[in-house]
Amino acid sequence: MPRILTIVGARPQFVKAAALSRALKKYELEEIMVHTGQHFDENMADIFFRQMEIPEPKYNLGIHSLSHGAMTGRMLEELEKVMQTEKPDAVVVFGDTNSTLAGALAAAKLHIPVAHVEAGLRSFNMKMPEEINRIVTDRISSWLFCPTDTAVRNLLSEGYGNFHVRVENIGDVMYDVALFYSRISEKFATQFNGLKNRERLTVLATFHRQENTDNLKCLQNIVDALNVLNNEFSIVLPLHPRTKKILERENISLNFDPVDPVGYFDMIELLKNCTFVITDSGGLQKEAFFFKKQCLIIRDETEWTELVDLGYNYLVGADKEKILEKADAMRYSRMKFQEKPYGEGNAAEKIALILKEI
């Protein structure tokens, strides 16, 4: 039986890993899960694992609250020890965090093949730490599990057709996750079950990226746009703690009350029942599509270019006028959401079947 070591470090990675864990178990592959501790989250209690049916990690390295270099170095050191102890046949990493990079590096240096889930994504912005992480991880992986045709084309344009790697468009694991948890989200959501009964149309908004929060002009423009939209829409803004501190420090005021960060089930309920989404989150702009909602992306680029090409999402940056213009258009938009750029919701099973061949 092949032994698969999966590495996670942030809450979204746990959710993706849950989908893969179910598939690995179905096809009788042994899994050893390692949590690096990169995102220390007090909300990730026992109830989180029980409700989402996520297996408890065998190892929790507790590495967090360090600089990029120190964090990645510590993870590399500790993950190497785990791999030498467990002797896995393959290592699976997800996405583009420091945990992703450290896991891939540790495995590659020990000559353990690496499977990268969400391979081939590119923002083409080398100022983003995530972009560096995903490029390096792709280059040292043996299996590149791409979520879209666009991701496959990115890799081929970079010469991966000449490397001894397997490039597969297996679809998006997050689509698997959305389909699975949407069936039970209403049962476990704690804050937003009554959203559908609100009198006004609802906009779900999030922003946390440094290019928006550390640039005060961008931050003010985004807040100004949301304040204007609040005159016509009900704005639900789960406010990131770091963003909240900056708003308070700079005395930038919202004319509506934000909410505390929400769990995954509440986020699904928000996506199901909102009118459209405004975000700088890479994952949320795609999840909006899963639940047939359009999205304004308050960034200058996106990894999910296919949704822009299909006309569902719009890049508006931190431009107040663009945000307001496109928001007004979305109020009346009635898109059909018939395309399936992210597969059929069976990406995790495809990964498990390929790894079973080891």
- Spatial strand order of the sheet with 295-297 comes to 234-236, 202-206, 276-279, 295-297, 313-315
- β-pairing, 234-236 vs 59-60, is unpaired
Query: Is 111 a residue of the active site?
Result: no
Report d(CA 93, CA 116) in Å as an integer: 5
CA quadruple 124, 241, 68, 38: dihedral sign: negative
Q: How far apart are CA 218 and CA 324, in angstroms?
A: 15
In 3D, which of 178, 185, 135 has the Cα closest to residue 155?
A: 135
Catalytic residue (choose from 68, 111, 116, 208): 208
* The 114-117 sheet, strands edge to edge: 59-60, 30-35, 3-8, 90-94, 114-117, 143-146, 166-169
d(C-alpha 175, C-alpha 136), whole Å: 25
Give the residue numbers marked as catalytic.
Answer: 208
